[in-house]
Structure 1
Amino acid sequence: MYIKNPMEIEDKSMDIIDEVMGDTYFSKEEIIIAKRMIHTTGDFEYRKIIDFKEDFIKNAIETIKEGTTIFTDTKMAYMGINKPALEKANCRLKCFIDDERVFKMSKELNTTRSACSVDLAVSEGIDVFVVGNAPTALFRILELYKEGKVNPKFIVGVPVGFVGAAESKEYLREFSIPQISTVGNKGGSNVAASIINALLYMTVGR
């Protein structure tokens, strides 16, 4: 016999995560997001590597309540974010990685499509960024911030990998921008999506 009901499976998973969380430095709201990240990855180490800065949750929820457009660096993050909850929040999602303009910019500037996607997002007035894969996207957001070309409402910065991922997140943490990041090379598009889903569920439910 095995559990077949999806919500029962999720509830049981969350109970197991609760047992492992123990004493934590997270606030009540931060625990909700941390548990969602652990649930998505099956990795309890996340409880030790998540970093919240500048009232991330408060600012993120206020922004979502206002209705906003959210940039994602990958199709995987785009697909993983709960669309009914997004619609209830009157928010929109944009991913430009396959946009012809991005292909053209990438060739002309000899840089990654991920970085060029950020430029396109900023040119369209987007100021909420969810990065789960590409360190170059995160670095580019911060470059544009330093240049005064964008003032992010909040950043989900959890790129994954061994080249630039940890460094881009360390750099992010130097800025006084509402943000969540992970310490080290762990992260990913699924993690980024789980963070936005947790915020949406906290704001409008499912």
Structure 2
Amino acid sequence: MSGKVKLIAVDKPGDIERKSFEIIDSEVPEPRRFDGIEWQIVRRMVHTTADFQLIDLVRFHPDAVASGIDALRSGCTIATDTEMARCGIPLRRMTPLKCSVSCLMNDHSVILSAKKNSTTRAHAAMELAADSLHPEIHVIGNAPTALIRLVNMVQEGRMAPPALVVGMPVGFVNAAESKSMLMDSGKIPYIAIEGRKGGSALAACVINALAEVVLAERDLSGDI
């Protein structure tokens, strides 16, 4: 290979994210499939993965964005299905909003319950979260069994529909099917991805995008 690689000039860490968003915007010109806050979410998903195919796979329940933002405004509880997703939603965004983020996968009672009932820990963690945390937002990026149990508990009347479910389990066994269950439930506001793609980082970045909207509102009003 001949010639020199031409690097993009960045002076500060924040410049990388800003420039990345500019590149994404330029490569997906208007009119886009999504606009407003939905585009901010989808753009962050593309930024997290460098996967433009996600634009064709993301699905929004009509109430998802408004319901999720209202929950964040009220200082909600968020439950994740992995520690990776929990760590992917940083305190610098959640603390000003008075929101908490929990993952119960390593809780001792979850481990015991999963062993006793021959279920996955994700299944058991979802039940414990519903009974003890009552999360307004669920972030599921890894475990189809967690999403399946959540949908079933809502359908059974064991728990009320959450304000928002970010449903993005990744993989080959029941990942696509669990997301179809969520989107077909008719009761649960969701942001989801059709098919096998997903992941903890991807699910977490959706909450970060929504949080940035609320943080920007409060910054303009002088609250933070």
CA contact (8 A) 2:141 2:170 kept: yes
C-alpha separation in 2, matches of 1:126 and 1:44: 31
Match of 1:85 in 2: 93
Number of residues of Structure 1 aligned to a counterpart in Structure 2: 206
Offset of residue 4 of structure 1: 4.8
C-alpha separation in 1, matches of 2:137 and 2:205: 16
SS of the counterpart of 2:184? coil
Write out the 4+ residue segments of structure 1 that deviate beyond 6 Å after TM superposition: none
Match of 1:150 in 2: 159
> More displaced, 88-97 or 18-27?
18-27
C-alpha separation in 2, matches of 1:18 and 1:54: 24
1:19-38 maps to which residues of 2 (within 5 A)?
A: 19-22=26-29, 23-38=31-46
1:125-204 maps to which residues of 2 (within 5 A)?
A: 125-151=134-160, 152-176=162-186, 177-204=188-215
Q: Decide which structure has the larger Cα Rg and report it.
A: 2
SS of the counterpart of 2:180? helix
1:102-117 maps to which residues of 2 (within 5 A)?
A: 102-117=110-125
C-alpha separation in 2, matches of 1:52 and 1:45: 16
Q: Percent identity?
A: 39
Alignment of 1:7 onto 2:14: yes
> Structure 1 residues 129, 167: CA separation in 2 closer, same or farther (over 3 Å shift)?
same
C-alpha separation in 1, matches of 2:26 and 2:113: 49
C-alpha separation in 1, matches of 2:18 and 2:135: 35
Match of 2:4 in 1: none
**Please, which runs of 5 or more residues in structure 1 have no aligned partner?**
none
The higher-RCO structure (CA 8 Å, 6+ apart) is 1
CA deviation map 1:49-93 (0-9, x unaligned): 100013211010011111111000000001111211101111001
Match of 2:25 in 1: 18
Offset of residue 150 of structure 1: 1.3
What TM-score do you get using the length of structure 1 for normalisation?
A: 0.96
CA contact (8 A) 2:82 2:105 kept: yes
SS of the counterpart of 1:173? helix
The one-letter amino acid paired with 2:193 is T
Offset of residue 26 of structure 1: 1.1
Offset of residue 149 of structure 1: 1.3
CA deviation map 1:131-150 (0-9, x unaligned): 00000000000110011111
C-alpha separation in 2, matches of 1:127 and 1:63: 7
Offset of residue 126 of structure 1: 2.4
The one-letter amino acid paired with 1:180 is I
CA contact (8 A) 1:21 1:47 kept: no
CA deviation map 1:185-206 (0-9, x unaligned): 1110000110000011111149
